[in-house]
Structure 1
Amino acid sequence: MPDGRLALIEAATFAFAERGYEAADLRSIARAADVDPGLVRIHFRGKAGLWDACVDAIIARRAPMVAEIARLASDASATAAERLTALIRHYVSFTFAHPEVRQFVVRHAAESSERATLLTERLVRPSYEASLPLIKAGIEAGVIRVRHPAAFFALLNNAVNQPRAAPVLLHQLSPDIDPDSVQELLTASILDAFLHLPVLSPKNTETPG
């Protein structure tokens, strides 16, 4: 099957994210991918190779987000407040579009120090290094009031990377919250909590014409 490799990676990413490395079994992954279990050995040589392929696929999925963060960090035409607002909105959009990435990282960070180190270096560090100049600019401008850029990045990651069930959970806690509105609610709440944005004067808030 020409798409067998991709189907296995998609099924395995979900299985590893939900059940962890040890509990995820290759026969169940192959069944979810609707392919013969023998394809795992043909394409990946085994579970370890399949896990590595999942990490590579996640890195590729995150690459446009990291590139956008780097672009925002180097954009001298916008203020630090404007760029940080855009960064957070972009970050939240990605995590809602790809909840399996968050779950994959969290699951393996708790399971194995070796896999946690690898994920930190290959997934987390690139995002941090891309956003570091912008975080520093935000601290210097007083938009961020956290003492160390790494601490701000860690807190922001924890706030952004909510569980897959967050929309349902928030609706259960407060029925007036529509699950479909949770992404925008979370984005606005993170902006309010993490950034000290300048308050526009009434003159600047008037609509033209």
Structure 2
Amino acid sequence: MTTERDPEDLTARARIRDAALFHFGEHGFERATIRGIAETAGVSPGLVRHHFGSKQGLREACDEYLVALVHRFNDRVRADTSHTDMSYIQQSRAALRPYQRYMARALSEGAAASLFDEVVNLTEEWLADLKRPDPPVVPLRVRATIATAMAMAVPILYEHVSRGLGVDMFSPEGDLLLSRALLDIYSHPLISPEEAAVLLDALDRTAHRATPAGREAAPGPDEELHDE
């Protein structure tokens, strides 16, 4: 399967960026070195600093590249209203596959904030377009944030997900099975709206009792025994 390449990918700057994505993913930000990145890219450490200034600047460039990549595929998905050919879904996963280790390590290190936040923004746009008959109980931004965290956790947990699926999730068979599973989960609620309403009510009452006002209003042990 081939994917479109950005013309910039042929430049020394792009080679340095891809080398950094590899080193940050394999070794973590702190252990990765400018010298090691330069050696993998086939350039001098001075050229790395010329293009990116510092290791932090290099990591920011890595995040910017991935944000642009995510945007590119998001635009393709949103532009397709017929859904007759969904090969671009596999293409997008194939394009992001070399960077999964980087994203997993960066997110676990508390970095890649711009990447996570931009995916939240895109998810928020998707959720805003959905026709939901019942009003959500949390703000749209909160829903988008949790949905993004859940989605990005799947590739981060690559080894565990692949073991559970019984097939490499990045293989064509695994990609198809994962896509079918996600569609099944998204299209079928795990609990009914009625069950959710009961649980939300209980959650709100529990949260109220945890506040100072709720503790003052709650009956004491003697009162509870007397009521019985």
TM-score, with length taken from structure 1: 0.64
Change (3 A) 1:192 1:147: farther
Whichever of the two has the greater Rg, that structure is: 2
> Contact (CA 8 Å) 2:19, 2:40: kept in 1 or not?
yes
Which residue matches 1:195? 187
> Contact (CA 8 Å) 1:70, 1:130: kept in 2 or not?
no
Secondary structure of the structure 1 residue equivalent to 2:177 = helix
Secondary structure of the structure 2 residue equivalent to 1:49 = helix
Structure 1 residue runs of 4 or more that deviate by more than 6 Å after TM superposition: none
Which residue matches 1:183? 175
Amino acid corresponding to residue 108 of structure 1 in structure 2: A
Q: Distance in 1 between matches of 2:113 and 2:126?
A: 20
With a CA cutoff of 8 Å and minimum separation of 6, indicate the structure with the bigger relative contact order: 1
The answer to which of 100-109 and 20-29 deviates more is 100-109
> Contact (CA 8 Å) 1:69, 1:130: kept in 2 or not?
no
> Percentage identity across aligned positions?
25
C-alpha displacement of 1:5: 0.9
Q: Distance in 1 between matches of 2:40 and 2:77?
A: 34
Which residue matches 1:33? 41
Superposition pairs of residues 31-110 of structure 1, within 5 angstroms: 31-71=39-79, 94-110=92-108
Q: Distance in 2 between matches of 1:190 and 1:3?
A: 37
Change (3 A) 1:131 1:90: farther
Which residue matches 2:122? 127
Q: Distance in 1 between matches of 2:187 and 2:161?
A: 25
TM-score, with length taken from structure 2: 0.59
Q: Distance in 1 between matches of 2:188 and 2:88?
A: 18
Q: Which runs of 5+ in 2 are unaligned?
A: 1-9, 190-228
Secondary structure of the structure 1 residue equivalent to 2:28 = helix
Which residue matches 2:26? 18
Query: Aligned-pair RMSD on alpha carbons?
Result: 3.9
Deviation by residue 1:5-61 (Cα, 9 ceiling, x = unmatched): 110011111222332211211111111111122111111111111111111211221
> Contact (CA 8 Å) 1:170, 1:179: kept in 2 or not?
no
Q: Distance in 1 between matches of 2:116 and 2:57?
A: 19
Q: Distance in 2 between matches of 1:53 and 1:68?
A: 23
Amino acid corresponding to residue 176 of structure 2 in structure 1: E
